[in-house]
Structure 1
Amino acid sequence: MNWNLLKLQVIELLDKHKRITAVAEQLGLKQPTVSFHMKSMEQELGVQLFYSRGGKVHLTEAGQSLNHYAKKINALVQEAERVVKEFDERGSGHLKIGASSVPGTYILPEMLSAFSERFPHISVSLTVRPTPFIKEMLLNHEIDIGIMSAEPFQWSPLVGETLCEDELVFFFNPKHRFARQEILHPEFLNDVPFILHGQESSTRTMTLNWAKTLGVKLKPVMEMDSLEAIKQAVMTGESVSIISKIAIAKELQRGEVSYRSIPQNPLRRYIYFTYNADRIRSSVFDSFLSSLQDAVRGI
């Protein structure tokens, strides 16, 4: 079987774009060349991989199975290229970073600016997604490093190094009646207008588990994916929510929000520096970790 990486790129891009013209343009090929590779793959494997419908190209079930491995191989090749370039004598290279909402929004932007000034030959790309997505991207070698808020975990082959605690708290408008309470008791939270985090949020999962364990009857009035949107809704209304204390640090300094500890909360969440154990660590990789550790030291 005569396979090359170009064929694997073709099948992955066809699944993404559904059009031969788009694949040809992205790969810098002519359309007949892309069609040739498609037919070649089907002939070599002896099975139909593609079919056309509505002017678009789709993958058959067999094609989807092949694409599953094509994406992994393509990601590994891209990772290998990035890692090798990190050993360039000029200290150049490219790091693909994935982060969950709290570190991606409130820690990394400032840290990455300082890192770029210190290492101008290293380019960095940042993807901010919920923790489960960052985990999958690491497992699939789509990113080099993940910065995630999570409970203590064992996700072999992922390696996690603790950066700091990511404490969750109840927060509310400073004029809210809870601001007069030194301690929140679980029964205080029954039927209080509550803003839930989005379906994919680890904060949402921890919140609902906490409420169920203590028999607290939360009264969800809104559901939001954005931390900033949740903050604005809480600051301007009567609702309360749970949020990372890191996410409201500036608002606390300005007196725009108040917070209290989550009552009877046995759970602890931390921000982890994570990577795939198969990923080679270079000096660029370790320099990034060192800069990140400096950034979280004062949190």
Structure 2
Amino acid sequence: MNLLKLQMIELIDKYKKVTAVAEAMGLKQPTVSFHMKNLEQELGVQLFESRAGKVLLTEAGRSLHHYSIKINALAQEAERVVKEYDQLGRGTLKIGASYVPGTYMLPRILSSFAKAYPRIQLSLIVKTAPVIKELLINHEIDLGMMSCEPFQLPPLFGETFCEDELVLICSPTHKLACHPQLFPDQLEGVPFLLHSPESSTRQLTMKWAVSNRVELNGHMELDSLEAIKQVAMLGESISFVSRLAVEREVERGELVFRPIPQNPFKRYVYYAYNLDRRQSTLLEGFIDHMRQPI
């Protein structure tokens, strides 16, 4: 079994057409068909089945697909890391981030790094913190930056970048805006904008509610932080969000924030990488740059 066949497995699952796989790999269709049959003979099990004009993976094929993704990602990573030593200042860096650091912190860092090293290709993907951790484990990104609670997840190594303070936000016209200090019972029954269930902010919000015995009136659930801010500006609802995410709206007088009352939970921005990955000069250089004041 070679890398070509493993790449073919991944592409068959993606396209489900031999012709499309052949085009993506720059091969002729008979060549792809030959490799498919050869791989089945090599492993002694059926990996593919034709159904309604499509080529699908069998259960055995799907098991192989699971490992193909990991092996292909490792092979691509190995090639990138080795090429980074070819000439100083060249290379590719794939970064993943959760919403707050990906939207309010990394753009400035990436911009300054690109100016300092214009021949380095940078890419950024913004997903939830659990997805970023999974991408790191699967070697699909080089570095992750996440807002979350402290975590231990071998083989990932995480280091604190800064605290990500959660605050209560509301419209300047909201009845809570006139109180410089709030108490948990004042939030009882107030229309509350909930983040999506997979969000670390949602998880901390619910932990806070349980610890303070407050029943939140979660009348609306939104998976967009920008949407939560826009709805809060209308004056009826409140929410917990990162202070970093509302600095501009607060400066413009569109929102106000207050400390979350009796909140023992801390959240931080971490940067993390996979310890199984060979640490390159490029990755080390980006981490050093990221930690410098801009």
TM-score (norm 1): 0.95
In the other structure, the counterpart of 2:127 is: 129
- Distance in 2 (CA, whole Å) between partners of 1:229 and 1:39 is 51
- Distance in 2 (CA, whole Å) between partners of 1:84 and 1:74 is 16
Q: Residues 88-139 of structure 1: CA distance to partner in whole angstroms, max 9, x if unpaired?
A: 2232000010100000111111221111111011101111000000000100
Name which of 166, 169, 176 aligns with 1:168. 166
Name which of 168, 184, 187 aligns with 2:185. 187
- Distance in 1 (CA, whole Å) between partners of 2:15 and 2:204 is 37
Amino acid at match of 1:288: F
- Distance in 2 (CA, whole Å) between partners of 1:130 and 1:228 is 15
- Distance in 1 (CA, whole Å) between partners of 2:24 and 2:224 is 32
Give the unaligned 5+ runs of structure 1: none
- Distance in 1 (CA, whole Å) between partners of 2:184 and 2:283 is 44
Alignment of 1:100-249 (within 5 A): 100-249=98-247
In the other structure, the counterpart of 1:78 is: 76
- Distance in 1 (CA, whole Å) between partners of 2:29 and 2:247 is 54
- Distance in 2 (CA, whole Å) between partners of 1:43 and 1:12 is 19
The question of whether the paired residues in 2 share the 8 Å contact of 1:90 and 1:121 is answered with no
Give how far 1:85 is off. Answer: 1.7
Alignment of 1:33-48 (within 5 A): 33-48=31-46
Name which of 21, 24, 28 aligns with 2:22. 24
Amino acid at match of 1:237: G
Is 1:4 the counterpart of 2:6? The answer is: no
Give the unaligned 5+ runs of structure 2: none
Name which of 91, 94, 97 aligns with 1:93. 91
Give how far 1:210 is off. Answer: 1.3
Q: Residues 73-98 of structure 1: CA distance to partner in whole angstroms, max 9, x if unpaired?
A: 00000111111122222320000101
For the residue of structure 2 that corresponds to 1:170, the secondary structure is strand
- Distance in 2 (CA, whole Å) between partners of 1:58 and 1:184 is 58
TM-score (norm 2): 0.97
Name which of 275, 278, 288 aligns with 1:277. 275
Amino acid at match of 2:131: F
The question of whether the paired residues in 2 share the 8 Å contact of 1:171 and 1:240 is answered with yes
- Distance in 2 (CA, whole Å) between partners of 1:235 and 1:228 is 11
Amino acid at match of 2:268: Y
In the other structure, the counterpart of 1:51 is: 49
- Distance in 1 (CA, whole Å) between partners of 2:235 and 2:134 is 36
Q: Mean Cα displacement is larger for which, 92-101 or 216-225?
A: 216-225
- Distance in 2 (CA, whole Å) between partners of 1:22 and 1:232 is 43
Task: Give the total of aligned pairs.
Answer: 294
Give how far 1:156 is off. Answer: 0.8
For the residue of structure 2 that corresponds to 1:142, the secondary structure is coil
Q: Residues 45-86 of structure 1: CA distance to partner in whole angstroms, max 9, x if unpaired?
A: 111111122222211111111111111100000111111122
In the other structure, the counterpart of 2:254 is: 256
- Distance in 1 (CA, whole Å) between partners of 2:20 and 2:189 is 53
Amino acid at match of 2:189: D
Matched residues, percent identical?
A: 60
- Distance in 2 (CA, whole Å) between partners of 1:117 and 1:225 is 33
Amino acid at match of 2:266: R
The question of whether the paired residues in 2 share the 8 Å contact of 1:195 and 1:221 is answered with yes
Give how far 1:291 is off. Answer: 2.1
- Distance in 2 (CA, whole Å) between partners of 1:11 and 1:185 is 57
Name which of 286, 289, 292 aligns with 1:291. 289
Amino acid at match of 2:55: V
The question of whether the paired residues in 2 share the 8 Å contact of 1:147 and 1:274 is answered with yes
Write out the 4+ residue segments of structure 1 that deviate beyond 2 Å after TM superposition: none
- Distance in 2 (CA, whole Å) between partners of 1:151 and 1:24 is 45
